[in-house]
Amino acid sequence: MINNTGAIWVFLASLCIAILMPTAALADTPRDIAKHVSPSVVLLVMEDGNGQPLAMGSGFVVREGVVATNLHVIEGAGRGYAKLADQKTKFDVRGVVASDPARDLVLLAVEGLKATPLTVGDSAKVAVGDEVYAMGNPRGLEGTFSAGIVSSIRKVGTDSLLQVTAPISPGSSGGPVVNSKGEVVGVAVATFKGGQNLNFAIPSQYLSAMIPSIKDAVALPEAGKALKGNKEKTILDNMGGRSTEGVVGSSFTWDDFGQGGGFSFSIKNKLREPIKNVYCLVIFYDSKDEPIDVAIFGGEGIVPGGLAKRVKGQVDESVEKLNTPIAMADMSRHQPPRPATGKIEFRILSFEIVSQDEPAAEGEEKKNGPGARDASHQQFVAPEARETGRQEDIEAALQESEKRLAEAVAKLAPAGNGPDLIESTIDGEFNGWDGDTIFKLSNGQIWQQVTYDYTYHYAFQPKVMIIKTYGAYKLVVDGVADSIFVKRIK
């Protein structure tokens, strides 16, 4: 009887474990992780001494009223505030309570901020290939959640950096990078080097070492002076500059010649990837370098990689006269646009990297976006769509033809033949017997082009991703707008 009772208890215990295990597994879905992390992530807006935005970034709560972020986010700031997503309340930053300049980390005391602190995990347990999630604010108040993997663990002297595939735009710098348990394993930071937007995370082990050293808050101006006077080389110095350096304002001109304050300038994208939703300030100074006005720009559409977009604005005509004095003799004569003689400052606060397969924004032609198609695609457009000439008809026809093509290619490369995502580099390209290009990847795999529209040839080793679409495979080349269908050669 005792043995039977014991067996029953073992059976019941096993049954309970079997029932609970699926529930535990479901608790760590990306949706649940985003729901857990989001309430603890803040938008940080740092301001200069005149109360104008100086930089935007993200941060996350690690103690009640204490926010972690990148040190460069607060560089040069006279004051600042934090905001939770979808809330209007601004919480003033009281000052710095701990910092690690060598690792670009800082802890800020934020007045009145109450949010659940995130659990700081052990970055030493992170390995290449682990799934990670980044959350930040590349577009102001809208918290953005992105998924990726740890693509590399880079050694920098005695320190280390996590390189991740989760996209990190400038406004997301300072946000948390978490593992599949929702634990913080890194602090996000985006850098710009050689035209590339590189995504890194400062390992959480450095953050864990800072938290016990929290002291009384030092006001931002005083903390900034101390940090500037004790400038250290950081682990990011060899990884490129801040990603906002990849986008600049330039070529400013006054266009109305003293009769309205109209002006224009170029937003230049120095990155390889297209960008959108650029948020920037243009600050005007008089002849004594005193600020006299500011113009705010946001959501300026897509700017392709390596190119620029002209933007127009308007200020009171007195601003033009104070910034660029006009001789009375010239007032009545028409003159072409002229450059400013006074100081003009551009502050690029935030922008977003456009993913390769992301559709163009409403009102943008596809030829200006990441989904740009070669003119030869017109041969796939239905004649009735070409005859109407309407952009929406042509786009709809292209999408339908691409779908049919993908379905046909799926028969050559059916779903399930390999993983959903492959990240590698092209080691070599060869011409196949039927004229298609054969790609040899650094991971040893061989893929063949299966469309006849266009191909690529390189003298270097570009990064590539192979993704599924409608069950077929597409090869996406880093820095190239179009993608091509491929099949794997076994």
Query: Do 196 and 227 belong to one domain?
Result: yes
Q: Which amino acid is at 260?
A: G
Q: Tell me, what's the pLDDT at 142?
A: 58
Q: Dihedral, CA atoms, 159, 165, 170, 174, nearest 10 degrees?
A: -50
CB 188 within 8 A of CB 176: yes
Q: Looking at residue 263, which CATH number applies to its domain?
A: 2.60.40
Query: Do 73 and 203 belong to one domain?
Result: yes
DSSP 120: B
Tally of structural domains, the chain: 4
Query: Do 234 and 266 belong to one domain?
Result: no
Q: Is residue 363 part of a domain?
A: no
User: In terms of Cα–Cα distance, which of 56, 60, 57 is closest to 38?
Assistant: 60
Q: Which two tokens stand for residue 350?
A: 């935030």
The residues, ordered by sequence, that sit 6+ positions from 141 with a Cβ below 8 Å of its Cβ are 43, 83, 85, 86
Query: Do 179 and 307 belong to one domain?
Result: no
**H/E stretch holding 206:** helix 204-210
Q: Is residue 367 part of a domain?
A: no
Query: Do 56 and 40 belong to one domain?
Result: yes
Query: Do 228 and 258 belong to one domain?
Result: no
CB 439 within 8 A of CB 448: yes
Query: Do 206 and 257 belong to one domain?
Result: no
Q: Classify residue 46 as exposed, middle or buried by CB count within 10 Å of its CB (0-12, 13-18, 19+).
A: buried
Compute the distance between CA of residue 424 and CA of residue 25 in angstroms, rounded to an integer: 30
- Domain stops at, among 306, 323, 353: 353
- Domain stops at, among 319, 353, 387: 353
Query: Do 414 and 474 belong to one domain?
Result: yes
Q: Which amino acid is at 68?
A: A
Query: Do 327 and 414 belong to one domain?
Result: no
Q: Is residue 416 part of a domain?
A: yes
Q: Tell me, what's the pLDDT at 236?
A: 77
Query: Do 167 and 216 belong to one domain?
Result: yes
3-state secondary structure at position 227? helix
**DSSP-assigned states of every residue in 438-484:** EEEETTS-EEEE--SS-----SS--EEEEEEETTEEEEEETT-S-EE
Task: Determine the structural domain holding residue 150 and report its residue range.
Answer: 27-239
Q: Tell me, what's the pLDDT at 94?
A: 93
Q: Is residue 338 part of a domain?
A: yes
Compute the distance between CA of residue 391 and CA of residue 195 in angstroms, rounded to an integer: 32
pLDDT by 10-residue block (mean), the chain, 490 residues: 54 53 53 90 88 87 95 89 85 93 93 94 93 78 78 88 84 90 92 75 94 91 71 71 80 78 91 84 90 83 87 89 72 66 88 62 40 39 47 65 62 55 83 74 86 60 78 77 77
CB 437 within 8 A of CB 448: yes
Q: Is residue 365 part of a domain?
A: no
Q: Is residue 185 part of a domain?
A: yes
Q: Tell me, what's the pLDDT at 345?
A: 92
Q: Tell me, what's the pLDDT at 374?
A: 38
Q: Tell me, what's the pLDDT at 430?
A: 78
Q: Is residue 360 part of a domain?
A: no
Query: Do 410 and 387 belong to one domain?
Result: yes
Compute the distance between CA of residue 375 and CA of residue 395 in angstroms, rounded to an integer: 13
334 CB neighbour count, 10 Å cutoff: 7
163 CB neighbour count, 10 Å cutoff: 16
3-state secondary structure at position 243? helix
Q: Which two tokens stand for residue 377?
A: 């695609």
List strands edge to edge, sheet with 247-254: 247-254, 262-269, 308-314
Query: Do 388 and 252 belong to one domain?
Result: no
Q: How many residues does the chain have?
A: 490
